[in-house]
Structure formats: C-alpha cells, structure tokens
Amino acid sequence: MQLQLDDVALFARIAELGTLSAAARERDVPVSQVTRSLARLEAACGVRLLHRTTHGLSLTDEGDTFLSYGRRLLDTTAELDSELTGKIGGPSGWVRVTASPLMADCVLAPSLGGLYQRYPNLHLDISADDRVADMAREGFDIAIRSGTPNSDTVVARQIGTFGRTVCASPDYLRAHGIPSHPRDLEHHRLLANSVSPSLNRWAWADPLGQGQAEWQVNAHTRADNTALVVSLALQGLGIARIHDLSALPLIRQGRLVPVLQDYFVSPQVPIYAVILQERHRLPKIRACIDYWAEWIAETALGKNTI
C-alpha cells in the first residue's frame, strides 16, 4: 500500500470526531478536501473504511483494523521524529494538556516559565476544565488528574500528592476570632463545596488522644468549585478547607492563615499525569511529566512549612 501519513492522520481524527465536517473544521479546510483524502486512503487500501449513513459515520470492520494499525504507525512516526529532533535540540513541539482549573492555575501556570527555560522548543496548549476529557477523541497528550485513573487504555504516573488545610483570611480572623477547637467552628462562617459532599466532611483528632470525630460542615456559603471557594476565603467570607496546592502559596504570602492545625488530619491525595498508552514514550511528553514531578516536589509542596 502506498499510504500518505497525512491521510492516515486525518482518518484517525475523522474516527475520533465522528464526522467529516468536524475534521474539516479542525483543520480549517473544505469538507471536499477531507472527502478526497478519505477516498485516496480507501483506494490505497482497496477496502471501504467507513460506513456513511444519514445518521453519521461508523467504522467498517476493515476500518476498525486500519485505525488500530494507523494509530500505531502515527505514534511510531511521532516517536521517531521526536527522538531525532530531541537529540539535536532537545524535546520540541506542541503538547496538549487537559487539567482542572485548579490544577491549571496552581501547577501548570506557575511552572511554565521554568519548563520553557529548560526546554525552549516546547509549546503547551492547555485546556482547563473540571470534566474528564476523552483524551483520544479530543487529541490530548497529557491529563493532570487527582485520584486514581480507572482505565486500562492509559498510563498513569504519579507526580505528587496533596493534602488540605483549614484556613481563613487575616481579615476574617480579626473580625470573628480564631477558633481554638473544632467545636468552635459551630460559631463561625464556613465555606463548603456544593458539588462534592465528601469535601465537606472534615476529619479531626485531638492531639492529646482524647477523641476524634468527623466534622460535617454547616455551610454559610457554598460554591461549585474549589477555585471559587479559595476566592471566597480570600475575601474574608469564612473558613475553608483548601487544597494545599492553592493554600500553601497563599499562606506563605500572608493572605491566608492556617487554623486548628493540631486537630485536622489531611490524607494525601495522589496527583497523576495520565497519558495514552501509545504516547507515553514520546520525549516531549516525558520531559513535561518529569519536570512537573520535580516542580511539585521542590516548589509547590516541598517547602511547605507554615
């Protein structure tokens, strides 16, 4: 078969996006150009790769087989290109990353200056969204996620962990006082998450071993994402239990103050870099993941005495 790699790449995106028009929009070309590419590929293979109906597109059996081999061909080509160019000028090219707004704000944004300084030929395309993206369909190289991935189609590398700290702004504590025991929280304004009830159960233990309990937050104000909870705390609207990647820099700056540190326990939650199985060996992807693991350990959480 005389295959053109660009035709193979376009076929893979058609299969992932589900329509010829979506693939055309992504490439900013006419649909007729996508149609010609598909026809050229089917002619080279001598088989029909897609069923076209009024309800949309679906892969034929041959198309499904070709897609599997085509992806391996594209990934091997990309890996070869990355290895060869990497030996000359280091990792290079675009890396598409998806992360929650919190991870994007607390890990990706502050780490990019150092990443670009180390690898000047890298470029990142970042999507900040709380939903879990379909990496293959949407073309993402890396997903930064907390918790354990449960898919066997991806490779997950742990790049750090985080806990949570109960804290409030100096203005709030001046106005409402500093709690000395978890029971004092009954008389304070508490900030809670309206989407994840588990984040509103604050486990604590008496440092003298005289009891432990789980505090169920009776919220004064609720918000549907952690970034907004952080913003509310900074505005002096209450006490919150905040992700350390957000809390620790703000505590070091004096914008937030930790409270009840001797009482509240903070289980560590893993942070993973998730990669599709066929792409985890690419030098540009390895370079990003290695750097973020180093940055989280040394910069974000390593110097966390407060």
Domains and CATH numbers, the chain: 5-83 (1.10.10.10), 90-153+275-300 (3.40.190.10), 164-258 (3.40.190.10)
pLDDT in tens, the chain (306 residues): 688 888 998 998 898 888 899 889 988 899 999 999 999 999 999 999 998 877 778 899 999 889 888 887 887 787 677 666 655 557 888 899 999 888 898 889 999 999 999 999 899 999 988 777 778 777 788 999 887 766 667 888 999 888 889 999 999 999 999 999 888 999 999 999 888 888 888 888 877 666 667 778 888 999 988 888 999 999 999 999 998 888 988 999 999 999 998 888 777 888 999 998 767 678 889 999 999 999 988 876 654 443
**Residue 62 near residue 45, CB atoms below 8 Å:** yes
Q: From 173, 168, 174, 299, select the one nearest 230 (Cα to Cα).
A: 168
- In this prediction, residue 212 carries a pLDDT of 67
- In this prediction, residue 305 carries a pLDDT of 40
- In this prediction, residue 209 carries a pLDDT of 64
Helices (DSSP H) in 144-282: which residue ranges? 170-176, 226-234, 244-252
- In this prediction, residue 208 carries a pLDDT of 67
Q: What is the pTM of this model?
A: 0.66
Q: From 130, 163, 126, select the one nearest 267 (Cα to Cα).
A: 163
- In this prediction, residue 306 carries a pLDDT of 39
- In this prediction, residue 239 carries a pLDDT of 96
Helices (DSSP H) in 58-97: which residue ranges? 61-89
